[in-house]
Amino acid sequence: MQFLQLFISGIAQGCIYGLIALGFVLIYKATETVSFAQGELMMLGAFFGLAAMGGLGFPFWLAVLSAIGAMALFGLVLEKVVIRPILGQPAFSIVMLTIGIGYVARGLVTMIPGIGTETRTLPVPYKDQAWNVGGLVLNVEQMVVIAATALLCALLYAVFRYSKVGLAMQAASQNQLAAYYMGIPVKRLNSLAWALAAGVAAIAGLLLAPITFVHANMGFIGLKAFPAAVVGGFGSLPGAIAGGLVIGVVESLSGFYLPEGFKDTAPYIVVLVMLVVLPNGLFGEKLRKKV
Binding to other proteins (CB under 8 A) within 55-114 occurs at: 82, 85-94, 96-97, 99-111, 113-114
Cβ 49 vs Cβ 63: under 8 Å:
yes
Q: Work out whether 183 is an interface residue with other proteins (CB under 8 A).
A: yes
Instruction: Please state, in angstroms and rounded to a whole number, the distance separating the CA atoms of residues 290 and 248.
Output: 37
Q: How far is the CB of 64 from other proteins (least distance, A)?
A: 20
Instruction: Please state, in angstroms and rounded to a whole number, the distance separating the CA atoms of residues 75 and 196.
Output: 8
Local structure of residue 116 (DSSP, 8 states): T
Q: Of the listed pieces 52-60, 151-159, 192-200, 228-236, which binds other proteins according to CB under 8 A? A: 228-236
Contacts of 130 (CB under 8 A, 6+ apart): 137, 138, 139, 140
Q: Work out whether 216 is an interface residue with other proteins (CB under 8 A).
A: yes
CB closer to other proteins out of 9 and 66: 9
For 127, phi and psi rounded to 5 degrees? -65, 140
CB closer to other proteins out of 90 and 134: 90
Q: How far is the CB of 156 from other proteins (least distance, A)?
A: 18
Q: Work out whether 163 is an interface residue with other proteins (CB under 8 A).
A: no
Q: Can you tell me which of 62, 147, 158, 182 binds other proteins, judged by CB under 8 A?
A: 182
Residues 11-40 that bind other proteins (CB under 8 A): 13, 16, 28, 32, 34
Angle CA 214–29–34, to nearest 5? 55
